[in-house]
Structure 1
Amino acid sequence: MRNEYTWEIKATNTPLLIKKCSHCNNDRFYCSEKFRLNAQKKNVDVWLIYRCQKCDSTTNMTIFHRVKTSSINKKLYEQLSENESELAWKYAFSYEIKQKNNIEFDFKSVDYKICHDGITLEDILNSNIEIITFNIKYPFDFNLKLSSVIRTCLGISSKQLERLIEWEVISIQEQFLQRKRKVKNENVVKVDVGKLKNIIEQKN
């Protein structure tokens, strides 16, 4: 058994935009993954286009406002012009863009999958390793709780996780796991195997 693994969290859709539609009574818009550019002389405005889930009317999220075309990186400008979906996803999850537009996202609308090795607590208990490390890849932040990831990847119940927290078995960035902690990209989760074995001994 190795002492280091990777957990990769992949969002399968972008978060819905929470906004009242002016054409119907719906309040959720989905990201079209399309940009709108409006160049006037040497300045340009750039928006990411959202569409109402119900009536398909559009609303725009500002990416750039009255900026000089020459100040935008040439490659970035090409990506915007070509509606590159990866770039659209980056902005659709961006906290900075959210603040800039004074909007709210429905992060609960984001579906995701976690790629992991299926290492269980039993596997860990049967190892001779002192500390097992799990590196988290989480490129798009959607307010996911770290406890949910750990439960899924280790295949444990809420009650079991509570016990691991109580015994300070799991640490993140050199701090013991807290119940409400959210996932951040490049988080390093460490499981203290010695403490875990002590829990089992106490239980028996």
Structure 2
Amino acid sequence: MSHSRSTRMPAEPDVDRKALWVVRELGLPAIIKTCVSCRATRHRPTGKIRVNANGKLLDVWMLIGCEQCDRTSKIPVHERVHVQALDHERLVMFENNDPAMVRRLAMDAALAGRAGYRLDWTGTWDLETDLPFYDLAKDDPASLEVLVRFELPVPIRVEKLLRAGFGLSRSAVRGMVGSGRIRLPMALDAKVRADFSLFVLATEP
């Protein structure tokens, strides 16, 4: 008789306090690709999306401008796609240069991978916490759950978030994660871009 092996996740601890950290959006990432005119590499969205129809087939491009010489380039979003294959609301957003759609395309890592450029997220975010300074170096009999919310899908190393949020050194963060005082749902060296929760366990009073 065979037995299936299951991996049980540790139960979430009881928490006495909750805190909210928000990764605030300061701006859109720069689009890094070489300009064919001046060979500079940094581009920004122009706010325009071009839709070209050839019968029932559509090409859709996001237009970007070189930060140095202002040359406009095209990023292919859809190529030779049948009009009926596109969601109507999405197509209307393309045709109207909808700012929300431009923002979504400008931060789309999958699009960057397909089109052969990368995103530079430097200076695009700041971490806002609703905590008074929470000194993890001291004993505290109360446990804490921290809810981390992202206003934009910027990839941030977990260790960097903890250092910024708690004001700790790299060695202190690694020590507390290693001891189990800070509990994470992913590896400390992982990069996150979506909402998650972490726990700070209480110390003995």
Q: What TM-score, normalized by structure 1, do the two folds share? A: 0.81
Given that 1:37 and 1:44 are in contact with CA atoms closer than 8 Å, whether structure 2 keeps it comes out as yes
The count of corresponding residues between Structure 1 and Structure 2 is 191
The one-character-per-residue Cα deviations of 1:132-175 (angstroms, maximum 9, x if unpaired) are 111222253332112222222223333432332332321222x5
Distance 1:122 1:142, change over 3 A: closer
Partner of residue 120 from structure 1, selected from 133, 136, 155: 133
Unaligned runs of 5+ in 2: 1-14
| Mapping 1:46-125, distance limit 5 Å | 46-107=60-121, 109-122=122-135
Q: Which residue of 2 aligns with 1:190?
A: 199
Secondary structure of the residue aligned to 1:122 is coil
Question: Using the alignment, how far apart are the partners of 1:142 and 1:64 within structure 2?
Answer: 24
Partner of residue 160 from structure 2, selected from 138, 141, 148: 148
Q: Which residue of 2 aligns with 1:201?
A: none
Secondary structure of the residue aligned to 1:121 is coil
> Runs in 1 of length 4+ with deviation above 6 angstroms?
none
Question: Using the alignment, how far apart are the partners of 1:11 and 1:143 within structure 2?
Answer: 12
Secondary structure of the residue aligned to 1:21 is coil
CA-atom RMSD in angstroms: 2.5
Q: CA deviation at 1:24?
A: 0.8
The one-character-per-residue Cα deviations of 1:63-111 (angstroms, maximum 9, x if unpaired) are 111112222222212211222222222122212212221222223x342
Question: Using the alignment, how far apart are the partners of 2:45 and 2:61 within structure 1?
Answer: 11
Unaligned runs of 5+ in 1: 199-204
Question: Using the alignment, how far apart are the partners of 1:137 and 1:89 within structure 2?
Answer: 18
Partner of residue 57 from structure 2, selected from 43, 49, 53: 43
Answer 1 or 2: which has greater helix percent: 1
Question: Using the alignment, how far apart are the partners of 2:129 and 2:61 within structure 1?
Answer: 36
Q: What TM-score, normalized by structure 2, do the two folds share? A: 0.81
Question: Using the alignment, how far apart are the partners of 1:147 and 1:32 within structure 2?
Answer: 34
Question: Using the alignment, how far apart are the partners of 1:98 and 1:8 within structure 2?
Answer: 25
Given that 2:49 and 2:95 are in contact with CA atoms closer than 8 Å, whether structure 1 keeps it comes out as yes
Partner of residue 27 from structure 1, selected from 34, 41, 44: 41
Question: Using the alignment, how far apart are the partners of 1:119 and 1:181 within structure 2?
Answer: 27
Given that 1:136 and 1:186 are in contact with CA atoms closer than 8 Å, whether structure 2 keeps it comes out as yes
Secondary structure of the residue aligned to 1:91 is helix
